[in-house]
Amino acid sequence: MTATADEGGPADIKRDVPTAIHVQISEHIRLRIAGGEWPAHYRLKSEPELAQEFGVSRGTVRRALATLIEEGLLRQVRGRGTYVTSTVIEPAIAQKLSTLSEDFASQGIVTSTAVRECSLIAPPRPVAALLDLAPGSTPVLRLVRVRSTVEGPVALLFNFVRTDLAPGIEDVDFSTTSLFGVLEGTYGLKIATARRTFSAEAASPEVADALTLATGRPVQYLQQVTYLADGRPVEYSDVWIHSGRLRMTSLLLRR
C-alpha cells in the first residue's frame, strides 16, 4: 500500500515546514539531475514507484513531475515513461535501429573490427543509472572496438552491456561477431528501441589516435541507450565517427 502525504515518509521529505511536499520532491529530483545521479535520457521510475519511494500520494508525485516538465528538465513519452531531457536540442530523426556493421553489410562495404578491450567492470555511475543498475550491484561488459574500411578507421565504439541479461558475454570474440547479433541470436533477447543523440566534438587524444586524426579535429559523436521489448535497457554506447570517411544520412518523414 502506498503511503499518503500524511502517513510519514523518507527523512528528506519534511512535513513540518512551510514548503509544500510536491515542491520538496521537485527539488530532490533537480538535485539528482544536477549531481549527475540521473543523467540525460535516464528513465524515472513509474509514478506509483516514486510515490512509494517518497511516501506520498501519486497525485503529489504527478504535480512535482509536472513542474519539472514545464521547466524542461523532464519529458514524458506516452506509453514509455518519463525521461531526463538532454542539455542539447535533439531533432526527431526517423531511422531504422541498425548497427554500423549491419549498415556496411547492407551496402556491400567490407570492414574489419579490432577489439581493444573486452572485460567486466563496475559501471561508472551515469552508465549504471542509464542501465537501471544499482551502483556496485552488477558488473557490465566494457567493449571497446575500432571499425575500419579500406580507407582506414571510421569509428571508435565503447559499449557497456548488462551481464545479468547476457552472462558470459565477455568470452565472445567480437572481432568477427556483432554485439546485437550475439544479444539476439545467442541470448534470445528482443531488441526493440533505442534513443540516439548526435553531436559534434573535438577529438580527444584517445579518439584521435584510434581514428588516425589530429587531436582536436571535429568528429561526429553518437550516444545511445538500447532497450528490450519489455522496456529494460540492455546496452549503452559511446561512438565517435570519422566524418571525413563516413557520412551520416537520414531519411526524414513529414508526420
4-63: per-residue pLDDT in tens?
Answer: 333 344 437 777 777 788 988 998 898 888 778 888 889 999 999 999 999 999 999 999
Residue 15 lies in a domain: no
Mean pLDDT of 132-151: 91
64-122 tens-digit pLDDT? 999 999 888 898 888 889 999 865 544 443 345 566 666 656 555 677 999 999 999 99
Alpha carbon 66 to chain centroid, angstroms: 23
Residue 93 lies in a domain: no
Domain for residue 7, yes or no?
no
C-alpha gyration radius of the chain: 21
Please tell me the predicted confidence (pLDDT) of residue 139.
95
Q: Is there a domain that residue 6 lies in?
A: no
Q: Are residues 113 and 163 in the same domain?
A: yes
- Run of H or E residues at 158: strand 152-162
Instruction: Tell me: do 113 and 204 sit in the same domain.
Output: yes
How many structural domains are present in the chain? 2
- Residue closest to 132 by CA, chosen among 73, 46, 70: 46
User: Residue 218: which H helix or E strand, with range?
Assistant: strand 218-228
Asked if residue 31 is part of any domain, the answer here is: yes
Report the CATH number that the domain containing residue 71 is assigned in CATH.
Answer: 1.10.10.10
State the amino acid at position 249 in one-letter form: T
> Does residue 5 sit within a domain?
no
- Report the SS3 class of residue 45: coil
The answer to which of 96-105, 129-138, 232-241 has the lowest mean pLDDT is 96-105
Q: Which helix (H) or strand (E) holds 148?
A: strand 140-149
Give the percent of the chain with pLDDT over 70: 82
Q: What is the pLDDT of residue 247?
A: 64
